A and B are shown apart, each in its own frame.
Chain A
Amino acid sequence: MSLENVLNNWSKYRRGAEEGGHHDYEHKWAMMINLDLCIGCNACSTACYAENNLAVVGKDRFEKGQAMHWLRIERYWDQAEQEFPEQGASFLPMMCQQCNSATCEPVCPVAATYHTPDGLNAQVYNRCIGSRYCSNNCPFRVRYFNFYSYYESSWPEPLNMQLNPDLTVRDKGVMEKCTFCVQRIRVAKDKAKMENRKVGDEDFKPACVQSCPTSAMVFGDYLDEGSQVRKLWDKYQVKMGPAKQDKQEPDMRGYRVFEGLNTDPSVLYLERVREKV
């Protein structure tokens, strides 16, 4: 009886994220992107198209701003005042940051986006009714809405044979976004379970991380002390969870985009480095 449930677990259900929420995480998938190594080559983005059945929208719809690239490389020029960008371009691979205090989650009227025990920010396509509030409330603007039925236009025969059967092709009216390649996570977890062991770094990589020619991206389980990504987060003295970061070495690289908004993202970026000549 749920009322009983309420009364028994009242204090538990009143716990916020800082006390770990109402359940303990099995994993907390996290990423580290070294912007000094990111050359902005788009390999990750295209890998994402291939892995996640992303729709190709075509020129006109791209022009209307309806592109579906879950992982986009943002390019900025930092030396606006100078005649030439002598320090080159700034590339930023921007995908869903899988925030732990995600702003998209509480606003969804039907709970189509929620937080999994893996610390992922999941989007349930079947449940989505397309109110698009989540996207409006995402400071990173990394949620993409199916404004049309792309399966009709994007994969003319036999291109559709390339579609990855591990995940769906989304129909019009639902929101979608980067999932950290949840289908790969799924497979890896099942495999590990069958061999009854923990999921390790080598079990899988998201498509983007796998493809990165300069290995600028690192992915893993933040809760696993031994994982490479955890070591890196620790090395760069960024913690997941607390609203305020206190680095022993303030000059140490490592930041999260829009840290100030306190959404607690799971993607750690390392500043790109430039040498003044």
Chain B
Amino acid sequence: MSIVNEKDINEQIAWAKINADVLRSMANPRRAYWISVAMCLAMIACAVTAEVYQYTEGMGYANLNNPHMWDMYIATFVFWIGMSHSGTLLSAILHIIHADWRKPIYRFAEAMTTFSLMTAGFFPIIHLGRMWNMYWVLPYVSDRGHWPNFRSPLVWDAFAISTYLSASMLFLFVGMIPDLAICRDNAKGWQKKLYSVLSLGWTGTDRQWRNFRKTYMLMACFLIPLAVSVHSIVSSDFAMSIMPGWHVTTFPPYFVAGALYSGCAAIITLFVLLRYYFRFEEYMTKAIMEKTCKLTFAIAMVWTYLNLVEFASVWYGHDIYSKELLIAKAVGPYAWVFWSMIFCGSVLPFTLAFQSLRRNMPVMFVVSLFLNVGMFFERWMIVAPTLSMSHNPHQWDIMWGSIIEWAIVFGSFGWFGLLFLVFVKVFPSVSMYEVKEMVYHRRRHVVNDEAAEKFHRRASDSKTGTDEPGLEGA
């Protein structure tokens, strides 16, 4: 079949065109852009209104009650944190394993990481009863000799998230410097000033490139364990408790898998959108989409497996509380959420197994959305059922999110969208220099083996040459 070994990218593509295309995507927004910005702002307005009301009137209006102390906000928090793992996966992991098909799409993935983190960060704060004291969670030197309680997974969260946010922002920024230089070279007026500052005087000298390469690799190496640890720590918010359904050993890997899963799904969504909006067909090719889908499918299966592991270990275990809860999840009032989670999370991904579907952008768009819906359900199923029926049956209670909660969750998507929209207009959403590298190397190694051959011979010659003394002086 022809399409099977279709190239990830056309290596004959001219570099000037790469610059041009990407820079074009940053220039003069279309009407659609402004409409989406307006929509995002409207969504944010909803959330702000709801939050102001809740702040002044009290948390009670979020339908929280004695057993249900967390629910929606924390579920959404976990959801956004999960979303943030995609960028790291693509840019860091694929970078160190030299999978160069990541190059056209990692930039926006990384941006997504940063922005979903910035969104996630809101929720632990919003859900606080006295959010104006939130900084008490941080270990600052206080004249009262107060410290946070370092035992609390919530404090771990604070550490992990701040680390992850700063690290991934740096990673995103460092990776963008050469492109910012390109922008600088092509921009005029205030933009020129802006990019001159941002590009830190990058001129692409060999010294800059050498240090850049090393830095980027080192950061990637840091980011991978960090990403894993972050979601493990988020999972320990639950796993460290003694509550049935939370006190689960497999939670850290389960959360990480779920995170990568929702992240990948989100990448597919944005992949399709950018490809359509900015006509990036040449960079975000179907071949790359296919690779992304395969990756997603693999992760989906890992997630499914971990689900089964959890169910099995509970089912055959002797913890009556957890078992009770597991059954309640499947048949209780939250059952429909549970089963739609299973469907979206474990059944739907099989569409990714079919090439024809993988190559069908609209289908992938819809599927990816549903995958993320499933992931949201998963988060709800993690948080709510345990609260609704834990050890003491006297306090069992079923609760659904209130309008306030929904408004804030809704608005968080607006906030994320806004950040992303701003990003794609201010920064190159496709890494120009890396696409050039990709093209360059492929042209050398893949297309023109002969040239590559010659190249290498020359190189070796020149090496041996240096070893000969005396020539210098002559």
- Using CB atoms and an 8 Å cutoff, list the residues of chain A in contact with chain B: 61, 64-67, 72, 74, 76, 92, 94, 103, 106-111, 127-133, 135-137, 139-141, 144-149, 172-175, 258, 261, 263
Contact = CB atoms under 8 A, between A and B. Distances in A.
Contact of A261 (B69, B128, B242): B242
Nearest to A141: B395
Contact of B155 (A109, A136, A139, A149): A109
Most chain B CB within a 10 A radius of its CB, from A65, A261, A263: A65
B392 A141 contact: yes
Give 5 closest A-B pairs by Cβ, nearest first: A130-B129, A173-B129, A147-B60, A65-B65, A132-B69
A172 B129 contact: yes
B136 interface: yes
Given A61-B60, A131-B128, A139-B390, A109 B137 contact: yes
A139 B392 contact: yes
A103 B242 contact: yes
A111 B147 contact: yes
A61 B64 CA distance: 11
Given A107-B152, A130-B130, A258 B391 contact: yes
Given A129-B137, A137-B242, A149-B58, A64 B130 contact: no
Given A127-B136, A129-B136, A172-B129, A103 B58 contact: no
A254 B149 CA distance: 35
B391 A66 contact: no
Contacts of B128: 129-131, 173
A140 B60 contact: no
Decide if the interface of chain A is mainly helix, strand, loop or mixed.
loop
Nearest to A263: B242
Given A109-B152, A111-B147, 19 more contacts: A65-B399, A110-B133, A128-B130, A129-B128, A129-B129, A129-B133, A129-B136, A131-B124, A132-B70, A132-B127, A133-B241, A137-B243, A139-B243, A141-B394, A145-B64, A145-B66, A146-B58, A149-B58, A173-B59
A106 B152 CA distance: 6
B43 interface: no
Contacts of B146: 110-111, 127
The size bracket of the interface on B is 35 or more
Nearest to A132: B69
Contacts of B70: 132, 136
Interface string B392-406: 101101010000000
A112 to B, nearest CB: 8
A262 B129 CA distance: 29
Most chain B CB within a 10 A radius of its CB, from A61, A67, A141: A141
Interface in B148-163: 148-149, 151-155, 158
Interface in B366-408: 387, 390-392, 394-395, 397, 399
Nearest to B244: A139
B127 to A, nearest CB: 8
Contacts of B66: 65-67, 135, 141, 144-145
Nearest to B62: A147
Most chain B CB within a 10 A radius of its CB, from A133, A135, A144, A149: A133
Contacts of B153: 107, 133
Given A94-B394, A111-B147, A129-B130, A172 B69 contact: no
